[in-house]
Structure 1
Amino acid sequence: MLPPEVKLPVNEMPRERLVREGPDKLSNQELLAILLRTGSRGETVLDQSQRLLTSFGGLLQLKDATVEELQAVRGIGFVKAIEIRATLELAKRIHTMNTKEKWIISGPEDVTERVMEEMRFLQQEHFIALYLNTKNQVMHKQTLFIGGLNSSIVHPREVFKEGIRRSAASMICLHNHPSGDPSPSKEDIQVTKRLVDCGNIIGIPVLDHIIIGDQCYVSLRDLGGVFDSVNP
Structure 2
Amino acid sequence: MSKETLMIRDVPSEERPRERLVANGAASLSNHELLAIILRTGTRDSSVLQLANRLLQTFEGLRLLKDASLQEITSIKGIGEAKAVQIISALELGRRISQLKFEDRYVIRSPEDGANYVMEEMRFLTQEHFVCLYLNTKNQVLHKQTLFIGSLNTSIVHPREVVRP
Q: TM-score, normalised by structure 1?
A: 0.60
The one of 107, 110, 114 equivalent to 1:111 is 114
**Counterparts of 2:159 and 2:69 in 1: how far apart (Å)?**
30
2:8–2:16 Cα contact (<8 Å) kept: no
Partner of 2:91: 88
Aligned to 2:156: 150
**Partner secondary structure for residue 38 of structure 1:** coil
Residue 124 of structure 1: aligned partner: 127
Q: Please give the secondary structure, in 2, of the residue aligned with 1:98.
A: helix
Correspondence list, 1:6-85, <5 A: 6-8=7-9, 9=11, 10-85=13-88
Using the aligned pairs only, state the percent identity.
Answer: 50
Report what 1:206 is aligned to: none
Within-5 A mapping of 1:113-192: 113-148=116-151, 149-151=155-157, 156-157=160-161, 159-162=162-165
Which runs of 5 or more structure 2 residues have no equivalent in the other structure? none
Q: Relative to structure 1, is the Cα distance of residues 107 and 155 closer, same or farther in structure 2, using a 3 angstrom cutoff? A: closer
The aligned counterpart of 1:203 is none
Question: Conserved in 1, the CA contact under 8 Å of 2:150 and 2:156?
Answer: no
How many Å apart are 1:119 and its aligned residue?
0.6
**How much is the aligned-residue C-alpha RMSD, in angstroms?**
2.4
Distance 1:99 1:66 in 2: 26
User: C-alpha distance in 1, partners of 2:36/2:135?
Assistant: 42
In structure 2, do the counterparts of structure 1 residues 147 and 80 end up closer, same or farther at CA, with 3 Å as the change threshold? farther
TM-score w.r.t. structure 2 length?
A: 0.82
Structure 2 distance, partners of 1:12, 1:86, is 26
Q: Aligned pairs, how many? A: 158
Q: Is the 1:132–1:139 Cα contact (8 Å) retained in structure 2? A: yes
Unaligned runs of 5+ in 1: 163-232
Kindly provide the CA deviation profile for residues 96-138 of structure 1, in whole angstroms up to 9, marking residues without a partner as x: 2216863111221001122223212112333322110001111
The code of the aligned residue for 1:123 comes to T
Find the aligned partners of 1:146 and 1:100 in 2 and give their Cα distance.
24
In 2, Cα distance between equivalents of 1:7 and 1:25? 18
Greater share of residues in helix: 2
Contact 1:6–1:41 (CA<8 Å) still a contact in 2? no
